[in-house]
Amino acid sequence: MTGENHASARAKARRIFDRDAGTIEASAYVDPEIYQLELDSVFKRCWLFLAHETQIPKAGDFLSTYMGEDPVVVVRQKDGGVKAFLNQCRHRGMRLCRSDAGQARNFSCIYHGWVYDLGGELINVPLEEHAYGKVDHKAWSARAVPRIARYKGLIFGCWDENAPEFTDYLGDAAFYLDILLDRSPAGTEAIGGIHKWVIPCNWKFAAEQFASDSYHAMFAHLSAVAVTIPGGSYAGSDGGDGRQYSSDRGHGTGFMLDAGRRELLSAFVGPEVGRYAMEEGMASAVDRLGHVRGQRMHAQHMTVFPNFSFLPSVNTVRVWHPKGPNEIEVWAWSLVEADASDEVKEAYRVGGLRSFSASGIFEQEDGENWVEIQRVLQSPTARDTLFHVGMGMGKSRKDDPDFPGEVGWIFSEHAARGFYAQWQRLLTEPEAPVIPAAADKEAGHDA
């Protein structure tokens, strides 16, 4: 699987995270050896988000994106299928496609003119007969992403031919992901445009926060709360009612229950979205997802391991593309129910960008936190400091009647521990299946 000898990094990964103690050493976020190991052992084995179906609706529509640090082109095929391949010419390695998105008949390399079709297969080599005699086109095609999964409007890819089916990779996380994707019989569509911005921080800060951290919102986002919520506060001193879910595959989510649904959504995305979510949007969601998911759960944040995150109902969706241990690019966009009215779609469009984007009044502070954490981590003493990931230790359980998986109170870090447990397992066990064989151990183990 891996092309390098990562023995030293594997030994570090084994030591860095201690699930039973609820600690992680800060070097996890900055060590270049760990990062190189992540690229091989996490990003080449896991299912990674590629695109929404409606971002490439017609044959020849393409999107340039990344899987880990691998540049790939995702292309709608003439038969309606989707293929993805490494954005690299097989002759001298030139980037084949230099547009963010567009419509193509084929992809020709600007260096020597090798041409690849929409599926990445080599179809023309200039002067082939005279210069080469024969080039085996099939063998010299662009490197295909061998596994593509399409799930309720989303397209995922995986470099590992032997990866589990995407739905098995999700496991019971699908229950929570479907709240984003399956609220309406019409499905979802992407609002046009992808926000792309650079945050000099490690990708795990962002992925972990969306998996496990409702806790920060009460303080980090105080200024946005102050200008969007009458009274400037949404939670009582006891934190309110909510749950957090952790998966043995590293996925995680947190959400509130019942009180505050309309108020919070109105604050995040505006009153028209708040109204929609209580009225026609809720009716179909309850019909499809049931009372608990359609009506009771709200203010949900989620990460599908490793780096695909979103806020259902707010409908912001993003990938944290790793760019070295100290930097990410955020690629964020919004989706909306395809059968929503034009007014609701417009409300989601402006509400989303005003709250959750580089300029978003809720998102600005996330960047500020992660940037400053990462700057401090350039210090050798900061780097071998232990961080506290011990909230809610032993308080999660697996027998909740309403919520599948390992579930505890919303203000907990068992989803962060689940995220790092999977991360550690993948880093230290290069040949093990991505889905752990044994049941997750934390639940109730010291309850």
Instruction: Rank residues 191 and 391 by Cβ distance to another protein and give the closer one.
Output: 191
Q: Is 374 helix (H, G, I), strand (E, B) or coil?
A: helix
- Which span sits near another protein by CB under 8 A: 161-169, 188-196, 244-252, 397-405? 188-196
Nearest residue to 411 (alpha-carbon basis) of 270, 291, 239, 172: 239
**CA distance linking residue 194 with residue 9, whole number of Å:** 34
- 228 lies in the binding site for another protein (CB under 8 A): yes
Instruction: Rank residues 196 and 397 by Cβ distance to another protein and give the closer one.
Output: 196
- Shortest spacing between CB 345 and another protein, in angstroms: 8
**CA distance linking residue 174 with residue 153, whole number of Å:** 13
Query: Which tokens sit at 32?
Result: 């270049």
- 224 lies in the binding site for another protein (CB under 8 A): yes
Per CB under 8 A, the list member of 276, 333, 411, 423 interacting with another protein is 333
For residues 339 and 196, the answer to whether their CB atoms sit within 8 Å is no
- Shortest spacing between CB 361 and another protein, in angstroms: 6
- Shortest spacing between CB 198 and another protein, in angstroms: 6
Instruction: Rank residues 247 and 316 by Cβ distance to another protein and give the closer one.
Output: 316
- Which span sits near another protein by CB under 8 A: 36-44, 282-290, 367-375, 389-397? 367-375
- 220 lies in the binding site for another protein (CB under 8 A): yes
Query: Which tokens sit at 152?
Result: 């309720």
For residues 178 and 152, the answer to whether their CB atoms sit within 8 Å is yes
Nearest residue to 365 (alpha-carbon basis) of 253, 263, 221: 221
For residues 39 and 325, the answer to whether their CB atoms sit within 8 Å is no
- 193 lies in the binding site for another protein (CB under 8 A): yes
- Shortest spacing between CB 419 and another protein, in angstroms: 22
Nearest residue to 196 (alpha-carbon basis) of 328, 70, 310, 330: 330
Instruction: Rank residues 150 and 375 by Cβ distance to another protein and give the closer one.
Output: 375
- 368 lies in the binding site for another protein (CB under 8 A): yes
Per CB under 8 A, the list member of 353, 391, 426, 443 interacting with another protein is 353
Residue type, 430: P
Per CB under 8 A, the list member of 198, 386, 432, 447 interacting with another protein is 198
* Residues taking part in catalysis: 112, 213, 216, 221, 366
Instruction: Rank residues 12 and 354 by Cβ distance to another protein and give the closer one.
Output: 354
- Which span sits near another protein by CB under 8 A: 37-45, 93-101, 140-148, 430-438? 93-101
- 379 lies in the binding site for another protein (CB under 8 A): no
- Shortest spacing between CB 120 and another protein, in angstroms: 19
- 116 lies in the binding site for another protein (CB under 8 A): no
- 192 lies in the binding site for another protein (CB under 8 A): yes
Query: Which tokens sit at 400?
Result: 């909740």
Instruction: Outline where DSSP puts E strands in 46-110.
Output: 48-52, 61-67, 70-76, 82-86, 101-103, 107-108
**CA distance linking residue 38 with residue 419, whole number of Å:** 13
**CA distance linking residue 378 with residue 324, whole number of Å:** 14
- 8 lies in the binding site for another protein (CB under 8 A): no
Contacts to another protein from residues 252-281, by CB under 8 A: none
Question: How does 362-385 read in b/e, with b if 16+ C-beta sit within 10 Å?
Answer: bbebbbeebeebbeebeeeeebee
Q: Is 302 helix (H, G, I), strand (E, B) or coil?
A: strand
- 372 lies in the binding site for another protein (CB under 8 A): yes
Q: Which residues bind another protein (CB under 8 A)?
A: 98-103, 191-201, 220, 222-224, 226-228, 329, 333-334, 349-350, 352-354, 357-359, 361, 363-365, 367-372, 375
